[in-house]
Amino acid sequence: MEPSTLGALPVLYSFRRCPYAIRARMALLQAGLVVELREVVLRDKPQAMLDASPKGTVPVLQLPGGQVIDESLGIMRWALAQNDPQEWLGQLEDPMQQQLLSVNDGPFKQALDAYKYPERHPQLLAEGHRTQGEMLLISVLEQRLDQHAFLAGVSPGFVDVAIFPFVRQWAAVDAGWFESCQWPAVRQWLQHWLRSPAFLGVMPKYPAWKPGQSPERFPAPTIA
């Protein structure tokens, strides 16, 4: 893998809109860490990324010592292990939060993909896949958020950041329907995150990375 051109910084291969990459970048931002960001074009993945992680999915974090972390939750845990100002990692001992993450990354993500691309999943209409997503996760989030402002409780936490990017995608499939749906607490929670400095801080556009180009820092100096 091509070494970082910003000295000893970790290298993060990312794709701006990918929910897995969004949550990884949000954890890095929360931890106050700086990396060299390499924006990936998914239809033309750089060989350096594939050399580091042959499975070819983002995000991929290459540490200065050569270690590779190619799972988004692993990157989140690593970042917060370096600096965890609000003690998010301790929240993962809560079985409820572990269950939410498991459902989000498993059956809900499958329902989300089917809702986004119903032509690939013709066993149900798009509305049927949407209903599955509601039953699997959205209704559970609504119940939780009706009691607390955040999934982690009175303050935002690991599980909020880990799940929010996927609910963002789910809401965007049919934004008109979502604005009038029966999940007001989920809508309010989603709007909080969409307007938050944490989300806005990880969404600036970066040029697609090519070997030899000038390196890009994340967070950008004007954001950090």
Asked if 42 and 67 touch (Cβ cutoff 8 Å), the reply is no
18: nearest Cα among 155, 112, 152: 112
Same domain, 71 and 20: yes
35-39 and 11-14 beta bridge pairing: parallel
The pLDDT of residue 62: 97
CA distances from 58 to 23, 49, 212 (A): 11, 9, 21
Q: Which pTM does this prediction carry? A: 0.94
The pLDDT of residue 218: 97
Residue 224 lies in a domain: no
CATH number, domain at 73? 3.40.30.10
Residue 5 lies in a domain: no
Q: How far apart are CA 42 and CA 99, in angstroms?
A: 30
Please tell me whether residue 194 adopts helix, strand or coil conformation: helix
69 burial level (CB within 10 Å; 0-12, 13-18, 19+): buried
Same domain, 61 and 97: no
Residue 3 lies in a domain: no
Parent domain of 177: 89-198
Domain count, the chain: 2
212: nearest Cα among 96, 46, 94, 35: 46
Mean pLDDT by 10 residues, the chain (224 residues): 70 98 98 98 95 97 96 98 97 94 98 93 89 96 97 96 98 96 97 98 96 92 52
